[in-house]
Structure 1
Amino acid sequence: MDRLIYTAYSGLTDSMVTQQVIASNMANAQTIGFRAELLSADAMTLKGPSIEARAMTRGEVRGANLKQGAVIETGNPLDIALNGRTMLAVQAADGEEAYTRRGDLAVDASGVLTNGDGCPVVGDAGPVTVPPGAKISIAPDGRVLAAAPENPDQPPQEVGRIKLVSTAGSAIEKGLDGLFRVPNGGALPADEDAKVQPGSLEQSNVEPTRVLVEMVEAQRLFDMRTKLISTAKELDEGGAGLMRLTS
């Protein structure tokens, strides 16, 4: 069989990955703090004594678009919007520290401060916990304040401080769980100058109109690559027919 079909097959595989990325971005167009995934496609030419006339295609998710999304006011004291390259430190399902832009916070049944994905919010000494029944608010510098309902005249007391980090100049990568991590382990240091906007939430930075255009383009490219396989089949059958005539 002509080697062209392997080249076309690698292109179809790349198209499938592209469709998965587009579908993920579209599905999360309304997810708080979601960062649109970026796909990178590279040509992989096989080296050898023959003429390098064909190259395979490899496509994979290499990162995310870190452009800030639109910020809306909610009035909820536990909602925070992060500015610039600031990210919120959370504890991932594997227990490791990870980072996210999702700032819709809440207090779970055990008194742990979590975000909308259910990940515990990390503070100076591990996950942030708050007193039961206390009225919680968050200051612009990330301090978690608790006011006792039985003493409404007393000022709220600091019970912890959210770890805010800056990703400027640091290498991070996005995992399948939507969280960002430092490659090969490790953690980013806290940024003491980082600020948040209480009572607001940052929306997803996915642009639905652009994603729809990308979806149409990806479908057309998939159709072209499918026709390329049909062309390879015709060429193979034509070559086999010529061989039979010669013999």
Structure 2
Amino acid sequence: MSSSALQVARTGLDAQDMKMRVIANNLSNVNTTGFKRDRANFETLAYQQMVAAGAQSDQQNKFATGLNLGSGVRVAGTSRLDTQGTLNQTGNPLDFAIQGDGYFQVQQTDGTLAYSRAGNFTLSPEGNVVTTEGQTIIPQITVPTGATGVTVGSDGTVSATLTGQTAPTQLGQIELARFVNPTGLNAIGGNLLTETAASGAPQVGVAGTEGRGTVIQGSLEGSNVNTVEELVEMIETQRGYEVASKMIKATDEMMQNANQQL
């Protein structure tokens, strides 16, 4: 039984260590544009049924409750919490924030699409709107040389005044992608997410329609990490880790005492 208690306590140490890693990642990204915090989800491991509830305790009576011994805990997975981050005004015409649901579409170097909430874009030497890593936003938006007064409407319409003209010219439209299960998206780093079987296929359309958020020019969405909440979670995780460590120590002392008595 003591060795089983050691195993259960070990699973607690592993689970709390993984949760601390999730918290550390959240805190390290407190200033990352468009970052969404993760939450570790715990679940129990298999139970060993020693006595079944309702089984005969004697010829006339039945057990009112059973005897089930748990085998520990594990982290079943992480959930990304897609709450809205604070919108911070920057005044940069190529900084875009999404207020509401949706993701910008970004073309990776291998031609596949990725999705992001980070709207800190810039221009390539060809005038294309790209990420800081040089990845093109989809649909591609090209700002001609000499164009001034670049504006982006709440529906993603991009306009600018071209050389020799007085009226603004529409350059294209930024479309947003939505997912049935956005928490199922796979984070690959670089503020990018990719589609998975769990997330479902992207539903691409105009910003502000069919539940998609609106585009805010000259602003960036900050991280939704609350430092105080994360620190409280960190303290609770430390306490859980300490309790599991004490359980291992106590179980070891019980085993030593049993060996000395035999």
Range that drifts further, 33-42 or 112-121:
112-121
The alpha-carbon distance between structure 1 residues 134 and 47, as it changes in their structure 2 partners (threshold 3 A), is: farther
2:62 aligned partner: none
Aligned with 1:67 (options 58, 83, 95): 83
Partner of 1:211: 230
Q: Distance in 1 between matches of 2:21 and 2:111?
A: 28
- For these two proteins, the number of residue pairs brought into alignment is 237
Partner of 1:120: 136
Which range moved further: 18-27 or 100-109? 100-109
User: Counterpart of 1:13 in 2: which secondary structure?
Assistant: helix
Measure, in 2, the Cα distance between the counterparts of 1:205 and 1:42: 25
Q: Deviations over 1:79-104 (max 9, x none)?
A: 11112112212234664322221111
| 1:12 alignment counterpart | 13
Give the aligned residue type for 1:19: M
Task: Confirm or deny that 1:29 pairs with 2:30.
Answer: yes
Q: Pick closer, same or farther for the CA change 1:59–1:141 going to 2, 3 Å.
A: same
Structure 1 residues 121-152: Cα deviation after superposition (integer angstroms, max 9, x where no partner): 221xxx5444455444433222333443x33x
Q: CA deviation at 1:28?
A: 0.9
Deviation at 1:110, TM superposition (A): 4.7
Greater displacement, 223-232 / 173-182: 173-182
Counterpart AA for 1:145: S
Residue in 2 aligned with 1:227?
246
1:142 aligned onto 2:143: no
- 8 Å CA contact 1:97–1:187 kept in 2: the answer is no
8 Å Cα contact 2:45/2:70 also seen in 1: no
Matched, 1:166 2:182: no
Query: 2: CA distance between counterparts of 1:190 and 1:170?
Result: 14
Contiguous gaps of at least 5 residues in structure 2: 52-66
TM-score, normalised with respect to structure 2: 0.78
Identity %: 28
C-alpha distance in 2 between matches for 1:61 and 1:129: 41
Partner-residue secondary structure (3-state), 1:62: strand
Distance 1:31 1:116, change over 3 A: farther
Letter in 2 for 1:204: S
Aligned residues of 1:80 and 1:196 also touching (Cα < 8 A): yes
**2:107, 2:138 within 8 Å by CA — same for their partners in 1?**
yes
The answer (yes or no) to whether the contact 1:63–1:174 under 8 Å persists in 2 is: no
> 1:144/1:109 Cα in 2 relative to 1: closer, same or farther (>3 Å)?
same
Residue 25 (structure 1) shift: 0.7
Residues 104 and 235 (structure 1), Cα distance of their counterparts in 2 relative to 1, 3 Å cut:
same
Aligned CA RMSD, in angstroms, stands at: 2.6
- Residue 56 of structure 1: aligned partner: 72
Deviation for aligned residue 1:2: 0.8
